[in-house]
Structure 1
Amino acid sequence: MTASTPIAESNAPKPIHTDDAGLIAGAITLPAPAGDLPGYRAHPASGGPFPLVLVIQEIFGVHEHIRDVVRRFAHRGYYALAPDLFVRQGDPSHLRTVDELRALAGRVPDRQVLSDLDAGVAFAEASGKADVRKAAAVGFCWGGRITWLYAAHNPALKAAVAWYGRLTGDRTEAQPKHPIDVASALQAPVLGLYAGQDQGIPLPTVTALQEALRSASQTGSAPGAAHSEIRVYPDVPHAFYADYRPSYRPEAAADAWQRQLDWLARHGVA
């Protein structure tokens, strides 16, 4: 399990802390085709099986904020799991600059990430505590991009929520497609939560994705496209949910979190 990333916590306000009272929570190791990888999971201590939420990390890795998000879902009655998706290429907690983090992320192949997320679903199912017939993926920043890809990859997924994930960019061997390329292949409906003042995700790319979703819904080629939605918060910056960073905007974060919960419930992940 990676430690908290120094760059992620620089100049940060005091973050929200969610305790694990009434939960089974902690680090786990899950088997995967490319070898075991670490992760963090939490679920209520009694009852179950619980709907599954895969929490897909930011570029900073499975650091304390992501672990806290896992516990937040568990307190809402979910089995939440965050696999450490960078572990095969490096440890982001050792990096000190954004450029170093981006270089690490660029080395992580999408096909490996999707396979590792599949392994996370299998691990959750084998635990006997997760109902994978009610499975969703929720990702933040780097993980927001992956969320769109996973919604096109896994036909068993019921719903997904992408928090300010990049929508397009250079296409490389490791990252051959971006969300705008898979709109016509979405298997699950995605709620996209975006920021109007995001300097890294220009609004025209959000509009382009909306057009791609509309086009796909008309052809009927992607069952998830017709039911996907985009919500833009016009006056907030990137990472407005990240309560450990100066970008945090409590009002927008609270609204988006509730929209997320409503979205999961609407699509049978509750």
Structure 2
Amino acid sequence: MTDISVETPAGPIDAVLELPDAPGPGVVIVHDAFGLTADTRNISRRFADKGYVALAPDLYTRGGIRKCVTGVFRALLGQGGVAVDDLLAARDFLAEHPDVTGKVGIVGFCMGGGFALLLSPKGFGASAPFYGITPRHVEEALEGACPIVASYGKNDPSLIGAGKKIEKVLSAKGIAHDVKTYPGASHSFANALPSGPAGAFARITGMGWRGEQAEDAFGRVFEFFGEHLRH
């Protein structure tokens, strides 16, 4: 694991870079609302172990979670802004990296999943949103999207019916996709929530890691990415 700096239009941001044993496709890992936590770092390593050059940018570099979270969500909901530019810069960093062969994908969780959906038409080879917020005007937002493998929890009160909606749009547009909604899973089912009051509250409400569903979802992502990023 290497902590690096990535140049963006608004100045450098911090990031974690994980390299595989041999050159391979690139993947931008977009963290959830909790930020660049140990969980995001572990997910980055997981992708590197599968042969991907994994880059996880810290979208809260310019002031930490308290100062930056509102602005990052504003960029997500407004479909443009500094956070979007940061992620596109991360894409370009990987595209130019000497160890990256083939295409660059994007995977995100919660807030990051929303960005993975939103940016799917923006020069990525495949996108994997985990319980991502559905973009406004979704039919327009996903025009020209890359192949998408999406995962949702059926017990997620914040995204009721989101999987069916996304699948309907992707099918209508003829975009290659694999969308699955998991019974028994809620929001953040593929994330290890951080310690502290925020993480504790999330767990009380039923959020957090669900091993069987999470492992199935990651398996689908690796199979889908293998098809669309390596070949």
Q: Does the alignment reach a TM-score above 0.5?
A: yes
Choose which of 137, 144, 150 in structure 1 pairs with 2:119.
150
Deviations 1:185-208 (A, max 9, x none): 31x1101101100011111x3323
Q: Is the 8 A contact 2:95 2:104 kept in 1?
A: no
Which residue number in structure 2 is paired with residue 250 of structure 1?
Answer: 211
Q: Secondary structure of the equivalent of 1:185?
A: coil
- C-alpha change, 1:251 and 1:142, in structure 2 (3 Å) is same
Which residue number in structure 1 is paired with residue 108 of structure 2?
Answer: 139
Which residue number in structure 1 is paired with residue 41 of structure 2?
Answer: 67
Q: Distance in 1 between matches of 2:34 and 2:138?
A: 21
Q: Distance in 1 between matches of 2:189 and 2:183?
A: 11
Q: Distance in 1 between matches of 2:151 and 2:141?
A: 17
Structure 2 residue 156 is the aligned partner of structure 1 residue 198:
yes
* 245-254 vs 34-43, greater mean Cα deviation: 245-254
Structure 2 residue 126 is the aligned partner of structure 1 residue 167:
no
Which residue number in structure 1 is paired with residue 165 of structure 2?
Answer: 208
Q: Distance in 1 between matches of 2:225 and 2:94?
A: 18
Q: Secondary structure of the equivalent of 1:124?
A: helix
- C-alpha change, 1:195 and 1:43, in structure 2 (3 Å) is same
Which residue number in structure 2 is paired with residue 13 of structure 1?
Answer: none
Structure 1 gap ranges (5+) = 1-24, 169-176, 218-224
Q: Is the 8 A contact 1:114 1:153 kept in 2?
A: no
**C-alpha deviation, 1:150, in angstroms:** 1.1
Which residue number in structure 2 is paired with residue 16 of structure 1?
Answer: none
Structure 2 residue 4 is the aligned partner of structure 1 residue 35:
no
Structure 2 gap ranges (5+) = 194-198
Name the count of aligned residue pairs: 216
Which residue number in structure 2 is paired with residue 238 of structure 1?
Answer: 187
**C-alpha deviation, 1:115, in angstroms:** 2.1
Q: Secondary structure of the equivalent of 1:238?
A: coil
The Cα RMSD (Å) is 2.2
- C-alpha change, 1:28 and 1:231, in structure 2 (3 Å) is same
**C-alpha deviation, 1:77, in angstroms:** 1.4
Q: Which has the larger radius of gyration?
A: 1
Q: Is the 8 A contact 2:72 2:83 kept in 1?
A: no
Q: Secondary structure of the equivalent of 1:184?
A: coil
Aligned partner of 1:114: which letter? V
User: Normalised by the size of structure 1, how large is the TM-score?
Assistant: 0.73
Choose which of 84, 90, 95 in structure 2 pairs with 1:114.
84
Q: Distance in 2 between matches of 1:199 and 1:231?
A: 16
**C-alpha deviation, 1:101, in angstroms:** 8.0
User: Normalised by the size of structure 2, how large is the TM-score?
Assistant: 0.84
Which residue number in structure 1 is paired with residue 70 of structure 2?
Answer: 103
Percent identity of paired positions between Structure 1 and Structure 2: 26
